[in-house]
Amino acid sequence: MPMLSGQPLQTSPMNDGDNTNPSDNTHIQDIIDVRLSRRGVLKGGIAASTTALFSGLGLSACGGSSNNRNDTPSLSFDAVAKNLNDVVTVPAGYQVSILHALGDPLTTTDAAWADNGSESADSYNRRIGDGHDGMHYFGLSDAGAFDANRSDRGILCVNHEYVVGPYALHSNGRSAGANRSATEVEKEIYAHGVSVAEIRRGTSGTAMTMVRGSTYNRRVTSATPMAFAGPARGNALLQTRYSTDGTTTRGTNNNCGNGYTPWGTYLTCEENFTNVIGRAAGDNALRSAKEVTALNRYGMTQGRNSPYLWDTAGSDDLFVRWSASVTGASAAEDYRNIFNTFGWIVEIDPFNPNSTPVKYTGLGRFAHEGCWPCKAVAGKPVVFYMGDDSRNEYIYKFVSKALWDAADVGKGHTAGARYMSEGTLYVAKFNSDGSGTWVELTHGKNGLTAANTTYPFADQADVLVNARLAGDVVGATKMDRPEWGAVNPINGEVYMTLTNNSNRVSPTATPTGSQLKPDTANPRYYEDIKGGTTSQKGNPNGHIIRWREAGGDPAATTFAWDIYLFGAEAGAAANVNLSGLTAVNDFSSPDGLWFDQNGMLWIQTDDGAYTDVTNCMMLAAVPGKVGDGSAATAAGGTPTIKGANATEATVRRFLVGPKQCEITGIAMTPDRKTMFINVQHPGEDGSLSSPTSAWPTSQTDATSTKRPRSATVVITRTNGGEIAV
Ligand code: FEO
Ligand code: CA
Ligand code: CA
Ligand code: CA
Contact 520, 486 (CB under 8 A): no
Cα 348 to middle of ligand 2, angstroms: 23
- Give yes or no for residue 389 CB within 6 A of ligand 1: yes
- Give yes or no for residue 161 CB within 6 A of ligand 1: yes
Residues sharing a CB contact under 8 Å with residue 444, sequence separation 6 or more, in sequence order: none
Q: How far apart are CA 593 and CA 603, in angstroms?
A: 5
* pLDDT per position as a tens digit, 339-393: 999 999 999 999 999 999 999 999 999 999 999 999 999 999 999 999 999 999 9
Q: Which atom of ligand 1 is nearest to the CA of 133?
A: 1
Helix axes 467-474, 289-297, angle to 10 degrees: 90
pLDDT band at 73 (very low <50, low <70, confident <90, very high): confident
Lowest mean pLDDT among 89-98, 160-169, 232-241, 295-304: 160-169
Q: How far apart are CA 442 and CA 345, in angstroms?
A: 18
Residues sharing a CB contact under 8 Å with residue 184, sequence separation 6 or more, in sequence order: 121, 169, 170, 174, 175, 313
* 610-639 exposure pattern, b = at least 16 Cβ within 10 A, e = fewer: bbeebbbbbbbbbbbbbbebebbebbbebb
* pLDDT per position as a tens digit, 303-330: 999 999 999 999 999 999 999 999 999 9
* 579-603 exposure pattern, b = at least 16 Cβ within 10 A, e = fewer: bbbeebbbbbbbbbbbbbbbbbbbb
- Give yes or no for residue 388 CB within 6 A of ligand 1: no
Residues sharing a CB contact under 8 Å with residue 285, sequence separation 6 or more, in sequence order: none
- Give yes or no for residue 16 CB within 6 A of ligand 1: yes
Q: Is the pLDDT of residue 241 over 60?
A: yes
Q: How many C-beta neighbours within 10 Å does residue 221 have?
A: 21
- Of all ligands present, the nearest one to the C-alpha of 387 is 1
Give the distance from CA 644 to its chain's centroid: 26
Q: Which atom of ligand 1 is nearest to the CA of 481?
A: 2
- Of all ligands present, the nearest one to the C-alpha of 588 is 2
**Amino acid (1-letter code) at residue 342:** F
Q: Which residues surround ligand 2, an ion (CB under 5 A)?
A: 591, 606
**Amino acid (1-letter code) at residue 545:** I
Cα 654 to middle of ligand 3, angstroms: 20
- Coarse DSSP helix, strand, coil percentages of the chain, rounded to the nearest 5 percent: 15, 30, 55
Q: Which atom of ligand 1 is nearest to the CA of 606?
A: 3
Q: How far apart are CA 191 and CA 124, in angstroms?
A: 6
Q: What are the beta bridge partners of residue 368?
A: 388
Q: How far apart are CA 335 and CA 493, in angstroms?
A: 42
Q: What are the beta bridge partners of residue 399?
A: 383, 424
- Give yes or no for residue 369 CB within 6 A of ligand 1: yes
Which residue is closest in CA terms to ligand 1's atom 1?
256
For 424, phi and psi rounded to 5 degrees?
A: -120, 130
Cα 369 to middle of ligand 1, angstroms: 6
Contact 556, 550 (CB under 8 A): yes
Strand, helix or coil for residue 89:
strand
pLDDT band at 518 (very low <50, low <70, confident <90, very high): very high
- Give yes or no for residue 586 CB within 6 A of ligand 1: no
Better pLDDT: 55 or 723:
723
Percent share of the chain, pLDDT over 70: 91
- Give yes or no for residue 256 CB within 6 A of ligand 1: yes
Q: What are the beta bridge partners of residue 189?
A: none
- Mean pLDDT value across residues 15-32: 53
SS3 per-residue string spanning 569-593 = CCCCCCCCCCCCCCCCCCECCEEEE
HSE-CB for 698 with a 13 A CA cutoff: 23
Cα separations in angstroms, 444 against 231, 253, 459: 15, 32, 8
Cα 589 to middle of ligand 4, angstroms: 10
* pLDDT per position as a tens digit, 652-698: 999 999 999 999 999 999 999 999 999 999 999 999 999 999 999 99
Q: How far apart are CA 299 and CA 303, in angstroms?
A: 11
Q: Which atom of ligand 1 is nearest to the CA of 161?
A: 1
Outline where DSSP puts E strands in 140-190: 153-160
Q: Which atom of ligand 1 is nearest to the CA of 271?
A: 1
Contact 186, 318 (CB under 8 A): yes
Which residue is closest in CA terms to ligand 1's atom 3?
256
